[in-house]
Chain A
Amino acid sequence: MSGTTATESAGSARPARAAKPWDHRASATTGLLMAAPLLLGLALFVGYPLLRIFLDASSGGDLFGRYAHVLSDGVSQRALFATLRTSAVVVLVATVLGTALAWTLHVTERRWVRVVLWTVALVPFWLGVIVKNYSIYLMLSANGPVNSALRALGLADEPVNFLYTQTAIVVGIAYSLVPYAVLSLYSAFMHIDKELLHAAQALGASRVRALATVAFPLARGGVAASMALVFVLSIGFYVTPILLGGAQTPFMATQISQQIFNLYDYPGAAASAAVLLLIAVLVVGGVFALVGGRTVKAALR
């Protein structure tokens, strides 16, 4: 009887049927609905343009001719190789600097060191692209502080030509991409238990050997993913090659821009863009094949 009474008294305050307990997991339909604007945006502004690039590149019945031109034409070839070479150097620079910063951030116990390093690593993120590149332009110009310092130290009589060179482009792009390297490397390093290194050293390994044989294999996937990320971002840079490289320094993005705006060759520009895109896909695919998708995923988790 007491049970009936309890049910009746509850029934007077609540609906007859007990409410389903709140579940934080959304149903598939709700999830799809919530994601719909994003999916729509993705289809319209990413999927469709990408499809158009390939369709335009093969328009007019010329299925592969424009791709062949990108790879065989002297000007285009030079821009492509310069882009790949510059991006490879950027990867090296960003990985070395990023590794040093990210590893120090991982192992340091000092709070102020972390604050300083995070600030150094992330400042380029907060600066606008024009500000970043213009500040490097001023640094490297004939009357800039770098040349003034070289002259003051007696290392140069005449201004050294830093601007409008591949070196200037590498400096500009690497400065922009070091934060990406640091963030991706840090997320890979933070899963490495520092005690493992202590154990290796306790067992007789030198510091370098402990890093090379214990830390590196664990971070391999993350390092590879970071390098791929930096490379893929680097090959698409546009403002930096224009401002710091000038017209005399070939680069793929500026080449594409010229094809569109000055040579009126849209299908050709589409083919150049498609080649860059395919290279990016190949690099990412290659990294996954080399170190394994699981390793990359685990490192970045």
Chain B
Amino acid sequence: MRRDPRTLRRVTTAAAVTSIGLVTACGGTPQPGSSGGGDQDVITVASWGGRFSEAMVTALAEPFTEETGIEVRVVDSPGNFVSQVQAQHEAGAVQWDIIDSAAASDAQYLYDQGLLLDHPAALRSTLETELGTDKLTEYSFTFANHAYVIACADERVERCPTTIEEFFDTEEFPGRRMMPGDASSYSQLITILGQATGNPVDAALPVDIETALDELRGIKDSVRVWWTSGDQMEQALQQGEADLGFMYSGRAFNLADTGLDVTVNWAGVYTPGHTALVADGPNQEGAARFLEWIAEHPEAQAEWSQLMNYSVPHPEALAALPAEEAERLSDWPANRELIAAQDVPWYLANKPEIDRGIQQTIQGG
């Protein structure tokens, strides 16, 4: 039997076109809830990856699934919540139901853009009962709360500053410093600068931006490391690039636990994460149930807190922790009163000027 070359060519063409079609069809990202009937059984939570996502799965998602049968898919998108949610909305295919512990300024920005949902009435009522109104906004509750605190390597620093003003006094408190340098920390940085200008802890902001930037210019030459990640701040103190500086509270205690002699002073900025419902998410009902479940389960929150060294919103969760762990958390009352709150609406209203001023100062302008 001899094959007709034209037939062969036709078959090859058909096969090639079919395979391209198959590849294209199979290569697309599966969208939660896009298959008929699966909508109400799955919710998608965007989290921070690594240990953070693992803690979400172990302490919260798995017990919730066991109780309700609703599967929780945790996707990693560290620090990319705004761009991802915007892109999903622009594409008309929102894939996430919940953002987990977003930075306050990111969450507020998304809410202002109409991309996060106001709490439905039933959820709101549960959240107020369980967590109290001070842990809530119209669209979020705080989670993974921590603080920017002062940490010193005891070996290299004689006296560790106990207040922001002392930290900015480079003569009395010498040493190579580190400070937040990533633009995602500018809201916290301006809060630190507000205190450096003399504003009290409970009213660090608003501040005259130029006066605040003068404080930054004044200390700039003593700052060796402008960190942009948690790993970098730990390494800087460990490797001797910096002797003292601002760190995430959890990271500072991590260093202490690994054997480095570190003094941690609670002076800095309260930094809550914001967990919220994404507008037009594929399973809003299931997502609201999950948030309600988290609020109603302080023991699950306590387990999460133990895994991550971050604070959680339920007062009973804090009480359920061993005292030596609870005392390391930013929501521990004695710690909380020493750290300033951010003023996110004020920061967002002045964001271009603040961001630009800080960036120019850090980069030598």
Contacts and interface: CB of A to CB of B under 8 A. Distances in A.
A242 B232 CA distance: 10
Dominant secondary structure of chain B at its interface with chain A? helix
A80 B312 CA distance: 42
A142 B355 contact: no
A33 B181 contact: no
B226 interface: yes
B130 to A, nearest CB: 32
Contacts of B82: 261, 264
Given A33-B13, A78-B365, A258-B183, A40 B360 contact: no
B239 A242 contact: no
Chain A contact residues (Cβ within 8 angstroms of B): what range? 35 or more
Interface string A133-152: 00001100111100000000
A75 B363 contact: yes
Nearest to A33: B16
Nearest to A257: B183
B10 to A, nearest CB: 11
Contacts of B34: none
A163 interface: yes
Given A247-B226, A248-B226, A36 B360 contact: no
Contact of A40 (B20, B182, B227, B362): B20
Contacts of A19: 2
Interface in A29-86: 29-30, 33, 36-37, 40, 74-75, 78-79
B12 A246 contact: no
A113 interface: no
Interface of A: 15, 19, 29-30, 33, 36-37, 40, 74-75, 78-79, 137-138, 141-144, 159, 161, 163-164, 242, 246-250, 258, 260-264, 266
Given A164-B224, A247-B226, 9 more contacts: A15-B2, A19-B2, A36-B20, A75-B360, A75-B363, A143-B240, A163-B241, A246-B225, A247-B228
12 contacts: A29-B13, A79-B363, A142-B240, A142-B241, A164-B226, A247-B226, A247-B228, A247-B363, A258-B359, A261-B79, A261-B82, A264-B83
